[in-house]
Structure 1
Amino acid sequence: MSEEKKRFIQEFVPGKQVTLSHMIANPDPEMFEKLGIEQAGALGILTLTPSETVIIAGDLATKAANVTIGFLDRFTGSLVIVGTVSEVSAAMEEINRFLSQVLKYTPADITKS
């Protein structure tokens, strides 16, 4: 008796969206040390799909405000921006605006802690 082999094909088709947009104001200095990035007044954390969108978001952030990129991973869609509270806020607002209005992404509310 022969066994029939079944073949499964799985596909991941991400939507165009900002899945997380959070700003941490005045983080504990130890957090910067653990992340290996220079200390500043705020961290902006974003997760985007498709993951390559972080390249666009990083470019938008650094052009919109005086922030630096603390971390960017084009494979997971993770972006961390660093700067003052007002500059990180301005950069995150510009990322949401551009992605939603120009590229028709689904934005996420910018949350803060």
Structure 2
Amino acid sequence: MLVTRDPITADGALLLKTYHCVEDRLSGAGLRLVAEVAANKVVVSFPLRVMNGRAAVFTRPHNDALSRLADERGWAVRRARLSTEEFVDVDKERGGTEH
């Protein structure tokens, strides 16, 4: 059998350059994905530039929405930045926001 009815769980989930695409197609879908994915840690990445090289203006609003979700749920959030991407690490097991 290729499909099982048992839920798949993981220690961590990587949503690399995915969240903003899902959220743009259906408002609230990115937050729902982070909230409902069966993983204790979720790492979300946002590109800092769009395909034409301009600054990605969607990063800040999505980061703010993730922070609000984490605050509401009592999850810890850590952030990291590279020259091309910003990462948000959501820890569903630890409470409180970190920077």
TM range (shorter): 0.3 to 0.5
Normalised by the length of structure 2, the TM-score is: 0.35
- Structure with greater Cα Rg: 1
Normalised by the length of structure 1, the TM-score is: 0.32
